[in-house]
Amino acid sequence: MLDENGASDRRFRQFLYDFSVLGASLESARSYLASQLGLSSPQYNIAMIIAQYQGATGVSGSDVAKHLHVTTAFITSEAGKLEQMEWLEKRPNPRDGRSVLLRLTSLGEAKVRQIGPERRLVNDRLFRGLSGKDFRHLTKTVTALIDDFAATASMLKTARSGEKHRMGNYLSLKSRDSR
């Protein structure tokens, strides 16, 4: 990721710093919205995904997990907390007896409607510098990066757990592949 002249990677490094600031700012906005509803950020994200995809029957925990790029076990744990708070209900999945469908209760739906105007204001402010075309391009780019970022995080987790030789092997293979 070298600059045009190939002499440095300053632009790439600045992009990484900027991207990190964007992530922190987005998390701060989500945390604020979540706190307005008495939820944690993950619970807020789960409630928003359920509201968006529940339809008439509900959405599976595994589908929620896929949208949020987390494990189904994490969704199960957080959904249990939301159920205790009477934000959502679980129903047997008629197409798969091993799973349940998640659906917001009337309280959960009312809370999502309540935060709607403020959520739109925050989102409009966060992305006000983008045209519709820019936004569509950004979403496509970020979607393409998700798997790469997840694979890299997994690789680093493996390296952190004492298997650094694997990361060294990975880097050797990658270097050899780029020749």
**Ranges of each domain in the chain:** 1-128, 131-179
Is the pLDDT at 141 greater than 80, yes or no?
A: yes
Tokens of 74: 């994490």
Which residue from 106, 107, 115, 109 is spatially nearest to 36, judged by alpha carbons?
A: 115
pLDDT tens readout for residues 8-37 = 788 888 989 999 999 999 999 999 999 999
> What does the alpha-carbon distance between residue 35 and residue 29 come to, in Å, rounded to a whole number?
10
pLDDT range class, residue 97, cuts 50, 70, 90: confident
pLDDT beyond 70 at 3:
no
If you average pLDDT over residues 49-58, what whole number do you get?
94
Count CA atoms closer than 13 A to 12's CA, side-chain side: 9
Band (pLDDT 50/70/90 cuts) for residue 179 is: very low
- What is the pLDDT of the chain when averaged over all its residues? 87
Comparing 145 with 103, the larger pLDDT belongs to 103
pLDDT at 164 over 80: no
Domain 1-128 has CATH 3.90.870.10: no
Say what the pLDDT of residue 102 is: 96
CA distances from 131 to 3, 134, 167 (A): 26, 5, 40
CB-CB contact of 9 with 1 (8 Å):
yes
Three-state SS at 59: strand
